[in-house]
Amino acid sequence: MSPKIIAFDADDTLWHNEPYFDEAQERFCVLFQDYASSQEILGLILNHQVKNLPLYGFGIKAFTLSMIETALQLTNHQISGKGIEQILAIGKDLLQKPVELLPNVESVLEQLKGKYKLVVATKGDLKDQHRKLHDSGIGPYFHHIEVLSDKAELDYEKMLGRLDCKPEDFLMIGNSLKSDVLPVLNIGGHAIHIPYHTTWEYEKIDFEIKHENFKSFASIEEILTIV
Ligand SMILES: [Mg+2]
């Protein structure tokens, strides 16, 4: 396999992310445990997040606003200013979490650098993703950083247009079959799935992918066996 550009998803591909969201949601569930079960509350948050995606997109700020809407719904609009402040604190804490790289990420980047153009292609808040890239220390390995508002086919096509790269010369690596794999295969690119131990409900798909341009690896260093 000889791609010209190798792009990496960031959250739960380069560094840990979803456990921080799980922890934030647990804090929210504790705050509102007198109103509903954790399971019900998690369902309500997800509903608000998905409904708000066209307006807010992805990321922690959108998540925070969806928690506030969930709190309004749970309390029948009786939530106090103090309660809103506690929700904002959950969001602000998320924006200041330490960045912890997944195992072997840096050594893999070290070995790929110079042979390929390396790109980060991520969703989320622009400022937050730039902060995490900075704090991670792996920014210098990358030729280009792209924070996409979504990861649908058109978003990838626009990015490849800007990078002057044909889909067949593009390899995307990520933990989400829905966002990092399917749209890339659909436009003629190559994709590698590296599952993370926990996945956001929204990113789950309920079918198996079989495609000649698709591979699934258990960990990031397996990339080195094919490029
Ligand atoms: Mg991810």
How far does the centroid of ligand 1 lie from the alpha carbon of residue 200, in Å? 9
- pLDDT tens digits, one per residue of 193-214: 999 999 999 999 999 999 999 9
Domain with CATH 1.10.150.240 in the chain: 18-94
pLDDT > 90? residue 51: yes
| The pLDDT of residue 1 | 78
Q: Tokens in use for 16?
A: 């840990």
Question: What span, in angstroms and rounded, lies between the C-alpha atoms of 211 and 149?
Answer: 26
The whole-number average pLDDT for the span 2-7 is 96
- pLDDT tens digits, one per residue of 140-185: 999 999 999 999 999 999 999 999 999 999 999 999 999 999 999 9
How far does the centroid of ligand 1 lie from the alpha carbon of residue 78, in Å? 35
Instruction: Write out the residues surrounding ion ligand 1, Cβ under 5 A.
Output: 9, 11-12, 175
Domain 18-94 part of CATH 1.10.150.240: yes
| The pLDDT of residue 176 | 97
Domain with CATH 3.40.50.1000 in the chain: 5-16+101-225
How far does the centroid of ligand 1 lie from the alpha carbon of residue 75, in Å? 32
* CA dihedral angle for residue 156, residue 159, residue 161, residue 162, rounded to 10 degrees: 180
**Topology of the domain covering 5-16+101-225:** Rossmann fold (3.40.50)
How far does the centroid of ligand 1 lie from the alpha carbon of residue 9, in Å? 5
- pLDDT tens digits, one per residue of 17-38: 999 999 999 999 999 999 999 9
- pLDDT tens digits, one per residue of 56-94: 999 999 999 999 999 999 999 999 999 999 999 999 999
Sign of CA dihedral 158, 120, 57, 184: positive
Burial class (CB in 10 A: 0-12, 13-18, 19+), 73: middle
Interacting residues of 220 by C-beta distance below 8 A, sequence separation 6+: 13, 102, 103, 104, 105, 108, 173, 194
